Amino acid sequence: MGTKEINISIKELETELGQIKDLRMSVGRLAQETWDEPQGPTPFPSLTTLRNWDLTLLNRYRPFYLPLCDLCCLCTYGKCDLTGDRKGACGISMPGQQSRIVLLAACIGAATHMNHAREMVTHLVHTYGDEKKLDPGGLSIKVEAPITRLVCGMKPETLGDLEAVLDYAEQQIGALLACTHTGQEGNPLDLESKVFHTGMIDHLSMEVADIAQVSAYDLPKADPDAPLVEIGYGSIDTTKPVILVIGHNVVPSVGIMDYMQDHDLTGELEVAGICCTGIDMTRYSARAKIVGPISWQIRYIRSGIPDIIVVDEQCIRTDVFDEARVQQIPVIATSEKNCLGLPDRTGDPVDDIIDEFTRGTLEGALILDPEKVGEIAVRTATINAPKKRKKKKAKLTLKEGMEEAKKCTQCRECRRACPNDLHIPDALKLFARGDSAMLAGVYDACVGCIRCEQACSEDIDIHSLITLTAEERLEHESYKLRSGRGAIQDIEIRQVGGPIVLGEIPGIVAFVGCANYPSGGEDLAEMAMEFANRRFIICTSGCAAMTIGMYRDADGKSPYELYPGNFEAGGIVNVGSCVSNSHIAGAAIKIASIFARRNLRGNYEEIADYVHNRVGAVGVAWGAMSQKAAAIAAGFWRLGIPVIVGPHGTKYRRMLLGRADRDEDWYVTDARTNERIYVGPVPEHLFISVETKEEAMVMIAKLSMRPNDTSRGRALKLTHYIDLHRRLLGSMPADIHRFVRMEADIPITMKEDIVAILKEKDWKETVIPDPTLIRKKEVVS
């Protein structure tokens, strides 16, 4: 929209009314309106503006609380035992407490993205000026910021405009966090509504962060042909100096790559990333590489390969400095949010710091100037690498590893500490006898948390033994990942909008989130390819996007080489890092706006209602671990998009489940006639944890159904659901009758079987409405 801060200062003014001296006026920002779409009903919504919409969803998808403990220990009244229907000293009930914890988690996640966005925008405004134009997709994108338009009712045009969006987000997160204080909100459903609000603010913040970095750093602009980049432990050329960057904020990495570019050093060093900084580095320069997702931190640091480690913010192991010290790798912390206890050397001369790093008298430093970080990291790594190679520590041999394994007393504490309950003691026993195969197998499902080592009474470096036995596998980890493309083009939305809304493209599946997988990362690649083959549109981001790339078919090709990067049926679309998740939600919103021409501006409820009833999108966070993942999921919930998590997901403390057997829950209003129509349980759940990859695949197909599906679309979706249920769960699903609205919905190839089931269930035909959950005014006859 273009905004200007207006400051008026009058030193001395004489008028007919009198004399004015030293008058100063500030009127905040003056909007320069360039958007002719009429303002909708809910621009900049407060905590309660969308409460009715939330309660409509929560009335259908009720919370099932799964307390991780029976107590509340948030204040000094407590600890309070909330078992059963007991209340705490403040009056809070167990459901209220669980919702409160969910809200806290979502607030942490949203604050993290929001502050990331704030740091990013502040830095970019400082570097490029607040009038720098936003350009997330050139001519391919007219709706540049769908979430911002939808939530705030404003059309941001410059970096400066994004500051106003963040002002709003910060105010909201502050208020939401305040709700969790003892003695504030205690009603579980009101807390859940606030969780949804937090999720919406999270998506808004992610969008700000990503469109700012795409615009300023010239990252791929909605480019389906974003370059294929290298990923994997084995893809890093260890003959060169190696800079390892970990975290989720690309600014310091840009400092590193710019310094290399400016000094003709590109290609002389390896810049390798772990987590989302890795992804965003490759969006900035396709020569950067990615080691892997979050769980690769310990194994890569312990390899001793990095010559310097630079950490920014989020998802960084808090013991990264301890681990690096053991390997004598210097560490640079670059964020005020993650100082690691290191001395602040931001103001010191670069040469002094490099001298101390290379002499080994300084183990780590906090440096809050990204350009300085660039120079120090590059020069230090260049000096240290040859020295380090020369006096490289001898690696543990397999034989030495076996001797170490003999110390195991089979107490089983390592297994009892392992979140995946891996059979580590049995594997160690075999390894001690010379058979390393089982321990190498443990590697596949190991999430790299090293809780096993913390539990070991014999101080065995269990994780190091696991990676030792899997060394060959590690060295062959070299794959191709399509770099994050950013937003979805408007033209792509136009092309697929109709088939999606009518159900003829069976769905959009978003594989997102962390890497805490229950049985290894291959599950994710397999699921993504299965649904791409079924002509769903696959979107992905962050650690999930990396994991999908770390797979090879028989010809050695990764999914990104096998499937196109277009937002089309059968495409596998890597949008980018965690903050790029906003483009997935943005695509769903743009379908309503660009394809269906619904007003977007400040019109959240109508658009969410459209998305929920018409866009067959499903989120899958198979290894979700963090609070950020909780916030991202919450943003999808408010849009009415269901999210599936893996078995660890029950530890998020509550599900949002529908009851297929309660017919009364599945009525919508037909917007054409104002009649109430039964549409069946579509989508059946809003947030559900499933146990196995097979169950997840069946659930994805099931949750892609929507009330608005045409018969052709529904028949297609039913085909996938029934086919997967038969193949993976062994039988026809028992609930088919709930999804068939009329005979035309029945897949032709399965007609005989289904008709028999319908007869048995006393099925009756119904109609396909123009579905809405929003209560409309009486239709005037």
Contacts of 225 (CB under 8 A, 6+ apart): 565
Size of the site for other proteins (CB under 8 A): 47
CB atoms within 10 A of CB 477: 18
Q: Is 729 in the site for other proteins (CB under 8 A)?
A: yes
Site stretch for other proteins (CB under 8 A), options 411-419, 520-528, 554-562, 590-598: 411-419
Beta bridge pairs of residue 62: 657
Q: Distance between CA 380 and CA 603 in Å, rounded?
A: 52
Contacts of 51 (CB under 8 A, 6+ apart): 190, 193
Q: Is 694 in the site for other proteins (CB under 8 A)?
A: yes
> At closest approach, how far in Å is the CB of 539 from other proteins?
23
> At closest approach, how far in Å is the CB of 67 from other proteins?
5
In this chain, which of 123, 240, 598, 659 binds other proteins, going by CB under 8 A?
Answer: 659
In this chain, which of 140, 175, 647, 774 binds other proteins, going by CB under 8 A?
Answer: 647
Q: Is 648 in the site for other proteins (CB under 8 A)?
A: yes
Looking at beta carbons only, is 496 or 625 nearer to other proteins? 625
What does the angle CA 548 – CA 419 – CA 317 come to, to the nearest 5 degrees?
70
Q: Distance between CA 501 and CA 493 in Å, rounded?
A: 11
> At closest approach, how far in Å is the CB of 187 from other proteins?
16
- Tokens 């529908």 appear where? 658
Q: Is 419 in the site for other proteins (CB under 8 A)?
A: yes
In this chain, which of 10, 23, 411, 734 binds other proteins, going by CB under 8 A?
Answer: 734
Looking at beta carbons only, is 354 or 644 nearer to other proteins? 644
Q: Is 416 in the site for other proteins (CB under 8 A)?
A: yes
> At closest approach, how far in Å is the CB of 650 from other proteins?
4
Site stretch for other proteins (CB under 8 A), options 272-280, 281-289, 642-650, 768-776: 642-650
> At closest approach, how far in Å is the CB of 411 from other proteins?
11
> At closest approach, how far in Å is the CB of 686 from other proteins?
12
204's tokens = 């808004």
Q: Distance between CA 274 and CA 239 in Å, rounded?
A: 19
Q: Distance between CA 326 and CA 259 in Å, rounded?
A: 28
The residues in 91-120 that bind other proteins, with binding defined as CB under 8 A, are 94-95
Q: Where does 441-595 show beta strands of DSSP type E? A: 479-482, 508-511, 537-541, 572-576
> Per residue, what are the HEC states of 441-477?
HHHHHCCCCCHHHHHCCCCCCHHHHHHHHCHHHHHCC
> At closest approach, how far in Å is the CB of 620 from other proteins?
14
* Contact track, other proteins, 39-78, x by CB under 8 A: -----------------------x-xxxxxxxx-------
> At closest approach, how far in Å is the CB of 169 from other proteins?
32
Q: Is 347 in the site for other proteins (CB under 8 A)?
A: no
The answer for 751, left when phi > 0, alpha when psi is -120 to 50, beta otherwise, is: alpha
In this chain, which of 120, 134, 442, 690 binds other proteins, going by CB under 8 A?
Answer: 690
> At closest approach, how far in Å is the CB of 202 from other proteins?
24
As a whole number of Å, the end-to-end CA separation of the chain is: 41
Q: Is 455 in the site for other proteins (CB under 8 A)?
A: yes
Q: Is 13 in the site for other proteins (CB under 8 A)?
A: no
Residue 440, Cα to own-chain centre: how many angstroms? 29
Contact 523, 553 (CB under 8 A): no
> At closest approach, how far in Å is the CB of 9 from other proteins?
60
543's tokens = 């650690």
Tell how strand 331-333 and strand 308-311 pair up.
parallel
Site stretch for other proteins (CB under 8 A), options 31-39, 47-55, 492-500, 728-736: 728-736
Q: Is the peptide bond before 79 cis (omega within 30 degrees of 0)?
A: yes
Contacts of residues 186-191 at CB distance under 8 Å and 24 or more positions apart, as own/partner, are 186/90, 186/91, 186/92, 186/93, 186/96, 186/100, 187/96, 188/63, 188/65, 188/93, 188/95, 188/96, 188/98, 188/99, 189/55, 189/58, 189/63, 189/99, 190/51, 191/96, 191/99, 191/100, 191/102, 191/103
Shortest CA distance to 110 belongs to which of 213, 47, 247, 203? 203
Site stretch for other proteins (CB under 8 A), options 227-235, 379-387, 544-552, 652-660: 652-660
Q: Is 83 in the site for other proteins (CB under 8 A)?
A: yes
Site stretch for other proteins (CB under 8 A), options 112-120, 169-177, 656-664, 741-749: 656-664
Looking at beta carbons only, is 518 or 616 nearer to other proteins? 518
Helices (H) and strands (E) in the chain, counts: 28, 23
582's tokens = 């906003």
Site stretch for other proteins (CB under 8 A), options 31-39, 181-189, 301-309, 683-691: 683-691
Looking at beta carbons only, is 339 or 729 nearer to other proteins? 729
Contact 116, 124 (CB under 8 A): no
**Angstrom distances, CA of residue 402 to CA of 397, 428, 451, 679, 682:** 9, 8, 21, 61, 54
In this chain, which of 240, 325, 473, 651 binds other proteins, going by CB under 8 A?
Answer: 651
Q: Is 728 in the site for other proteins (CB under 8 A)?
A: yes
Q: Distance between CA 410 and CA 392 in Å, rounded?
A: 33
Furthest-apart CA pair in the chain: how many Å?
101
Contact 500, 508 (CB under 8 A): yes
Q: Is 650 in the site for other proteins (CB under 8 A)?
A: yes
> At closest approach, how far in Å is the CB of 209 from other proteins?
32
Q: Is 691 in the site for other proteins (CB under 8 A)?
A: yes
The answer for 16, left when phi > 0, alpha when psi is -120 to 50, beta otherwise, is: alpha
Looking at beta carbons only, is 334 or 689 nearer to other proteins? 689
Q: Is 733 in the site for other proteins (CB under 8 A)?
A: yes
* Contact track, other proteins, 197-236, x by CB under 8 A: ----------------------------------------
> At closest approach, how far in Å is the CB of 698 from other proteins?
9
Looking at beta carbons only, is 86 or 672 nearer to other proteins? 86
Q: Is 663 in the site for other proteins (CB under 8 A)?
A: no
Instruction: Provide the 3-class DSSP secondary structure of residue 129.
Output: coil
In this chain, which of 223, 371, 413, 492 binds other proteins, going by CB under 8 A?
Answer: 413
Q: Is 449 in the site for other proteins (CB under 8 A)?
A: no
Beta bridge pairs of residue 515: 623
Q: Distance between CA 288 and CA 267 in Å, rounded?
A: 9
Site stretch for other proteins (CB under 8 A), options 213-221, 248-256, 392-400, 648-656: 648-656
> At closest approach, how far in Å is the CB of 706 from other proteins?
20
Q: Distance between CA 653 and CA 99 in Å, rounded?
A: 8
Shortest CA distance to 204 belongs to which of 174, 164, 176, 175? 164
> At closest approach, how far in Å is the CB of 750 from other proteins?
18
In this chain, which of 58, 166, 288, 699 binds other proteins, going by CB under 8 A?
Answer: 699
Looking at beta carbons only, is 100 or 590 nearer to other proteins? 100
In this chain, which of 688, 750, 768, 773 binds other proteins, going by CB under 8 A?
Answer: 688
* Contact track, other proteins, 512-541, x by CB under 8 A: ------x-----------------------
Q: Is 423 in the site for other proteins (CB under 8 A)?
A: no
> At closest approach, how far in Å is the CB of 89 from other proteins?
15
Length of the chain: 781
| Positions in the binding site for other proteins (CB under 8 A) | 62, 64-71, 81-85, 94-95, 413, 416-417, 419, 421, 455, 518, 647-648, 650-651, 653, 655, 657, 659, 661, 685, 688-692, 694-695, 699, 728-731, 733-734
